[in-house]
Amino acid sequence: MAAWTSVIRLRALPLFRFSEWDAVFVGLSIVQAAVVVAFPSIPLIALGLWWNANTIAHNFIHRPFFRSNALNGVYSAWLTIVMGVPQSIWRERHLAHHADRAPRVQLTRAVAIDIVLLAALWLVLGLTMPRVWLLTYLPGIAIGLVLCQLQGHYEHAGGATSHYGRLYNLLLFNDGYHVEHHARPGVHWSELPARAAPGARYSRWPPVLRWLDTFGLQGLERLVLRSPALQRFVLDRHERAFRKLASHLTDVSDVLVIGGGLFPRTALVVQRVLPAARLTIVDATDEHLTTARTFLDDSTVLRHGIVDAASPMDADLVIVPLAFIGDRSAFYARPPARTVLVHDWIWARKGHSAIVSWLLLKRLNLVTEELSTTLSTSLT
């Protein structure tokens, strides 16, 4: 169930064509403009353009918010000012995408108004705040457009692809339901979760981060292997998160780490935090174990093998890596040990949790047998 489903109540108002909740978009566009004026910066302008284009402007294109055509025209002009991109041209480009044709931009009245408004905005900024306009505003718009291009590319690379992460769909108003949106472009954003397509192509990554599927976690691991500075960084961040959860660990004598080859950050952190525990690493690749041995002492047991949540595990604590290939949710629903520590993406908070690093987009989730029933219910 999507994050917004429980708070949406559709009711047409005299001002709004479809839902009173579209007023939230109007308010947010005003807040966005106020924040950029108060705190002009490249990241705010770039992220604001990307976010608005995929939420407010996108939904306004498919379902204009107001009953009055005049109000819709005024609001379209307002979006041009807020985004720094002519909304009428943005609309034509997006509708052409849905129609699978090349955009046909003509000099209509709406396009002319948007161009004049944008030119006036740029002229005012250039005359009154030339440094802000040249060194902050224009770079922010350029980066925002690159983010939008990245978003559009990875939403369709290999075919339309959805992302069902709760945090992303909360912050971007169900934008992750992309396969469902393409199937019914006119459906209101609040109804998309109810139309989730069984078997739809999906990714665990939001579109702007989907390039990480190509780069791969193993590539990141090998990068860390070549840099002592990166090794110190990831060890420090993982140890801080582990120690925050240590109060929930009791009578841990045996620790099993699934994976952990290449740079064995988890095993090294366990040795620091639980020095008396017996440590075993199971990895599916012999080469990874050979590399890991160079960082570990002989007391650590290294085994070649494949482990999943259904495998028998004689350990007090089982640790699952971010690179685990298989059903990660099974470790939450049916923990194979008294305590399980799962490396997960930063937006996937479950059980007792601690953030490893915003930069690494990573957190640790600690699950006990007492929490498994609750988590199993939330995952169904």
**79 and 138 together in one domain:** yes
**164 and 236 together in one domain:** no
Q: What are phi and psi of 66, to 5 degrees?
A: -100, 155
**239 and 171 together in one domain:** no
Question: In this structure, are residues 312 and 334 in contact, taking their beta carbons and an 8 Å threshold?
Answer: no
pLDDT of residue 60 exceeding 60, the answer is: yes
Place 251 in a pLDDT band, splitting at 50, 70 and 90.
Answer: confident
pLDDT of residue 1 exceeding 50, the answer is: no
255 DSSP β-pair partners: 279, 317
The confidence score (pLDDT) of residue 10 equals 44
Rg (CA), the chain: 25
Question: In this structure, are residues 272 and 255 in contact, taking their beta carbons and an 8 Å threshold?
Answer: no
Percentage above 90 pLDDT, the chain: 51
Question: In this structure, are residues 354 and 238 in contact, taking their beta carbons and an 8 Å threshold?
Answer: no
- Tell me if 210 is assigned to some domain: no
Of 155, 173, 204, which one is at a domain's C-terminal end? 204
Q: CA angle at residue 285 from 282 to 289, to 5 degrees? A: 60
Place 136 in a pLDDT band, splitting at 50, 70 and 90.
Answer: very high
* Calculated CA dihedral for residues 249, 254, 255, 258, nearest 10 degrees: -140
Beta strands, E only, the chain: 254-258, 278-283, 301-304, 317-320, 339-345, 352-357, 362-368
Per-residue tokens: 191: 């109804």
Place 8 in a pLDDT band, splitting at 50, 70 and 90.
Answer: very low
Burial readout 305-342 (b: 16 or more C-beta within 10 A, e: otherwise): eebebeeebebbbbbbbbbbeeebbbbbbebbbbbbbb
- Tell me if 61 is assigned to some domain: yes
> How does pLDDT run across 10-21, given as a tens digit for each residue?
444 578 888 888
pLDDT of residue 2 exceeding 70, the answer is: no
- Tell me if 144 is assigned to some domain: yes
The confidence score (pLDDT) of residue 5 equals 47
Q: Which of 253, 255, 250 is nearest to 266 (CA)?
A: 255
The confidence score (pLDDT) of residue 218 equals 63
Place 9 in a pLDDT band, splitting at 50, 70 and 90.
Answer: very low
pTM of the complete model: 0.62
Place 322 in a pLDDT band, splitting at 50, 70 and 90.
Answer: confident
- Tell me if 211 is assigned to some domain: no
pLDDT of residue 327 exceeding 70, the answer is: yes
SS3 379: helix
**124 and 169 together in one domain:** yes
- Tell me if 212 is assigned to some domain: no
* Segment among 25-29, 72-76, 303-307 with least mean pLDDT: 303-307
What rounded mean pLDDT belongs to the chain?
87
CA distance 347 to 349: 6
CA distance 19 to 12: 5
**33 and 154 together in one domain:** yes
Show the domain range for 276: 219-379
The confidence score (pLDDT) of residue 374 equals 52
* Segment among 48-57, 112-121, 245-254 with least mean pLDDT: 245-254
**235 and 321 together in one domain:** yes
- Residues contacting residue 165 through CB under 8 Å, at least 6 positions apart: 176, 204, 206, 345, 347, 348
Q: Is 73 or 379 the better-scoring residue by pLDDT?
A: 73
**26 and 171 together in one domain:** yes
Domain of 237, CATH number, reads 3.40.50.150
What's the structural domain count of the chain?
2
- Tell me if 209 is assigned to some domain: no
**106 and 42 together in one domain:** yes
Of 181, 204, 227, which one is at a domain's C-terminal end? 204
CA distance 160 to 3: 22
> How does pLDDT run across 296-308, given as a tens digit for each residue?
888 888 888 887 7
Instruction: Using the structure block, give the residue that is written with the tokens 């259904």.
Output: 310
Of 204, 234, 251, which one is at a domain's C-terminal end? 204
The confidence score (pLDDT) of residue 380 equals 45
pLDDT of residue 361 exceeding 60, the answer is: yes
> How does pLDDT run across 254-305, given as a tens digit for each residue?
999 988 667 888 889 999 999 989 998 988 888 888 888 888 888 888 888 8
**75 and 144 together in one domain:** yes
> How does pLDDT run across 161-178, given as a tens digit for each residue?
999 988 899 999 999 999
Q: Is 160 or 361 the better-scoring residue by pLDDT?
A: 160
Residues in the chain: 380
- Tell me if 135 is assigned to some domain: yes
> How does pLDDT run across 193-245, given as a tens digit for each residue?
999 888 888 888 899 888 776 555 666 677 777 888 888 988 899 999 999 99
The confidence score (pLDDT) of residue 261 equals 66
**179 and 33 together in one domain:** yes
The confidence score (pLDDT) of residue 114 equals 95
**269 and 344 together in one domain:** yes
SS3 259: coil
Place 52 in a pLDDT band, splitting at 50, 70 and 90.
Answer: very high
- Tell me if 193 is assigned to some domain: yes
Question: In this structure, are residues 12 and 59 in contact, taking their beta carbons and an 8 Å threshold?
Answer: no
**132 and 244 together in one domain:** no
